[in-house]
Structure 1
Amino acid sequence: MTWTNKQIVSLLQDVNKVTLDLKNGKFNQFQRYSKDIRSALIGKKHVRMYFRKENESQIRILLFFDMRQNPEKIIDLLR
């Protein structure tokens, strides 16, 4: 799928907002995917951003997943 400049800007703004929230200690406010993985819908709710708390000072972004794909792919990609 081809993204427009407007969609890219929106996605990047959402990534920055989620990143800022995570820096401010709001990890638990995001939807739980598994015991240690959380996610946020971004980019006009077309993309899900998955992340994991590595320790108290580090959160690792694991995956950006376009929700218009087959959801079965998520399981394989997060392994």
Structure 2
Amino acid sequence: MPLFFKAKVENPGRAEASRRVAGLVRAALALGEDDAVTVSEIDCGDPACGGAETVVLVMRVGRKTQAVKLLKPTVEVTAEDVAGAFAAAG
């Protein structure tokens, strides 16, 4: 086990993009204050997967958590992407 490790430094642009996408999700789904949204960007190390993807989790009171994956980096996600992904997810 290594004695030292390199901590991952959060990218401020990625954090702002995550907040923006969470706002788009809240607006698209008309979520209430008690509902929660998380947005994560996952970097894929496999060149065949196309790079980063965005994963959105919506946790509504009294309902199962809904997960949606957008196959693009968070900074590139648009309101149309969000609406289309949740429409397709049902």
TM-score strictly above 0.5: no
TM-score class, shorter-chain normalisation, is: 0.3 to 0.5
Structure number, greater radius of gyration = 2
TM-score normalised by the chain length of structure 1: 0.39
Structure with greater strand percent:
1
TM-score normalised by the chain length of structure 2: 0.36
